[in-house]
Structure 1
């Protein structure tokens, strides 16, 4: 009888251990499940399953459709410095142990670069999403191909999407499923406390998209080449909070490499983003309608803006970023199609911009409204940059743009310790402000820009720009007007 009782006790203990194996979120053990291997001599694509067609989900498929409409609100009081988002994962979840690891190969992913692994990724996501502090693992030494996919929340907090291998979309528009959105590939939607990290590569296979005969773009030796039509952004976070993205190599995107819209509290660090210099519309990091963003210690080279900040962004801190080649760090474009745009409290510091068309830029369309305010560019090294410092309120992609009276109000912009060399084909400082809505409170301090080669360009360009030179600048910016313009933008259309 005592022996039977002991057996019953042992059975209960075993059952409790099995139940707690994945449910005890306070334990910090880590395990990897076995990876499937290919049989010797087997054709890697011979048994590839047919393309997986995901069901349609209620998520907008294009940036135009997706941008949340933000009602006009009174502007909060200006803060002395951007509110840097706290790291939601201070112990670096990419290197920590996890309670449950969901390896995509255990859900049927082949990882040979030929098979469509979409179904396996969706199944692994569904399982990981339901467990707190889970890790969806894309293992190393394998190449996984999936079609356009929306990874939807809400999920349990602490989810980590860990890419240690290579992850890529189908190769070009001819391979893109007709049922999939042509505007996006990986979408992370309605998530909180999620990390995208790993030591692997997200490869965009963008070459065939760049060659589509739609948007013309600059080619070698002054030529003009065709460009993208409806090309997909590689990674998109939409309507999500408390996000961290770190460690990955992201390259050759058909369009934007990574974008955030309708998000809040985002930490981006230690990314390597790259695509060819002439790849069109391949912004490195794009944010819009997003608040509380930190972008740190990343290297970005591409064919468009290194970092672009769209309407509806506030409290953005950028530090330790190296850009180039590309189009520099841009606020805008803003105010397109007579829209209202509000951007405030943006800091860019301790950055290097090299071999780029632009350095630090604010670009707005005529006819817009709203404001860009409390902007700080500090401690930036320029290396052979065409337009080191530029405000362009006449931004236009064609020759057909008409002059309009209204504009986005540009106010309180600091340029401090901006040094280096510029390409003499353009003046190093260019302030082209609206005829009717002047740029105000521009401060220049410790600006020293010398020609990379050739003669010094003596005359920076200013139009309706007001501000001060706190120190002697090189070259001198004598065209900057002192004081305030007669008509300061104080009407409601310029308030945010």
Structure 2
């Protein structure tokens, strides 16, 4: 089966180098391989499969430094199912996927991506990247893959519609900073299922502009639980709605089902359901925090409404199963 892929730039595995030196625009020590140089036409009609594979083999074969596989902008590439096989000799490979439709990434059960995040975690001011970042992608799926040690979030989803993530193992140290398993923003109809997420931050963070997000059959822990928000940071207006989180096991997490909004922000979080939840030593199984980070004496004007909690079973490590810190405005 052939798939038409329209891309601005392709490919992004995170570099294991020090974050202060990481810059996508820095090319002096990088090896760049453009599929067009290997014969890809990009006319939406010609079969560009072999050009992609040859460019990948060159990228994978770099013996030192950073290797980048480039698919140039404003072209449409028609390819058969591609298998980018390793192991690679390159110390790091950049893979960034933008504006891709009908894309399938399948690790086959043994595929893995390691973000070498430990080289970044001590640098709080560094612009740490995610391991995988999907921007403006539609009708795609990611399955049977291990993603670990993200410098920041492991899988970032921004401006996407109709995506499915299944049978994933996402793992990072419990002390790793801001290493969300999934970070979703401005996206619709996203399904995350049958996965294990163990990180130093939220297993799943559902941020502003997101709707119709479904998470099911997830084992979460350690980490901060599954969060709607945070919303309203820097006094912005943000909305989240139609969220369904069900059949989830939280194990040793700080939170279970969490909704968090910043003081001063506006917008709403509505039509949210958490159900069939199993809890093992979770500090706050149910929490709504509308004064998140307590950065301002202001109240949050993000309206939280139509939230359902159903079928919660298990234990709280704090003895406080429900913690509600609601805004007087919202």
Change (3 A) 1:103 1:261: same
Structure 2, unmatched stretches of 5+, are 4-27, 34-46
The residue aligned with 2:101 is: 192
2:320 is aligned, of 427, 443, 451, to 427
Change (3 A) 1:111 1:420: farther
- Hey, what's the Cα distance between the residues in 2 that align with 1:315 and 1:349? 13
Q: Does the aligned pair in 2 maintain the 1:233–1:257 contact within 8 Å?
A: yes
Change (3 A) 1:413 1:137: same
1:326-351 CA distances to partner (integer Å, 9 max, x unpaired)? 00000000011111111111001111
- Hey, what's the Cα distance between the residues in 2 that align with 1:104 and 1:250? 25
Residue-pair matches, total: 290
- Hey, what's the Cα distance between the residues in 2 that align with 1:240 and 1:327? 27
The residue aligned with 2:117 is: 206
Structure 1 residue 105 displacement after superposition: 7.3
Structure 1 residue 190 displacement after superposition: 1.2
Change (3 A) 1:391 1:107: same
- Hey, what's the Cα distance between the residues in 2 that align with 1:316 and 1:204? 26
Q: Does the aligned pair in 2 maintain the 1:194–1:242 contact within 8 Å?
A: yes
Secondary structure, aligned partner of 1:103: helix
Structure 1 residue 427 displacement after superposition: 1.1
- Hey, what's the Cα distance between the residues in 1 that align with 2:198 and 2:255? 13
Structure 1 residue 368 displacement after superposition: 1.2
The residue aligned with 2:149 is: 252
1:103 is aligned, of 41, 47, 53, to 53
Structure 1 residue 116 displacement after superposition: 4.1
Q: Does the aligned pair in 2 maintain the 1:104–1:138 contact within 8 Å?
A: no
Map 1:156-235 to 2 at 5 A: 186-198=95-107, 199-212=110-123, 214=124, 229-235=126-132
The residue aligned with 2:301 is: 407
- Hey, what's the Cα distance between the residues in 1 that align with 2:139 and 2:265? 31
Q: Does the aligned pair in 1 maintain the 2:31–2:59 contact within 8 Å?
A: no
Change (3 A) 1:143 1:412: farther
Shifted more, 319-328 versus 135-144: the winner is: 135-144
1:243 aligns with 2:137: no
1:136 aligns with 2:75: no
Secondary structure, aligned partner of 2:83: strand
The residue aligned with 2:285 is: 388
TM value normalised by structure 1: 0.54
2:167 is aligned, of 270, 282, 287, to 270
The residue aligned with 1:79 is: none
Secondary structure, aligned partner of 1:360: strand
In angstroms, what is the RMSD of aligned CA positions?
A: 2.8
1:21-55 CA distances to partner (integer Å, 9 max, x unpaired)? xxx959xxxxxxxxxxxxxxxxxxxxxxx832669
Q: Does the aligned pair in 1 maintain the 2:216–2:245 contact within 8 Å?
A: yes
Secondary structure, aligned partner of 1:266: strand
Q: Which has the higher strand share?
A: 2
1:146-203 CA distances to partner (integer Å, 9 max, x unpaired)? 35x4xxxxxxxxxxxxxxxxxxxxxxxxxxxxxxxxxxxx421111111222231111
Q: Does the aligned pair in 2 maintain the 1:109–1:117 contact within 8 Å?
A: no
The residue aligned with 2:24 is: none
1:122 aligns with 2:70: yes
Change (3 A) 1:302 1:104: farther
